[in-house]
Amino acid sequence: MKAMAGLAVLMLAACASAPVGGGSYDLAAGVASYDALKAATDKCRADGGHLTLKSNYDQHDLSSYQCKIGGAR
């Protein structure tokens, strides 16, 4: 029973971290390693978007990327 309650909490937390109204969102700061970018890309795609590097930003920092949902690429 505790495992089910824990799973429910995790699912709610995942929903809470998703963008409200399907809007684009920026990533949190961190090292943009292969694994981190792969995880961010997979999450962004699951949210219906695509990961992009912001113009004139450092490609080695995760906060330089954003998940664009909807609209033109």
The number of C-alpha atoms within 13 Å of 21 and in the hemisphere containing its C-beta is 3
The radius of gyration computed from the CA coordinates of the chain, to the nearest angstrom, equals 14
Element (H, E) at 66: strand 65-69
The answer to whether the CB of 8 falls within 8 A of the CB of 16 is no
Q: Give the number of domains in the chain.
A: 1
Q: How many CB atoms lie within 10 A of CB 65?
A: 21
Which pLDDT band holds residue 70 (cuts at 50, 70, 90)?
confident
The answer, yes or no, to whether residue 37 has pLDDT greater than 90, is yes
Which residue range is the domain that position 13 belongs to? 2-69
Residue 33 DSSP symbol: -
At position 73, the amino acid (one-letter code) is: R
pTM summary value? 0.64
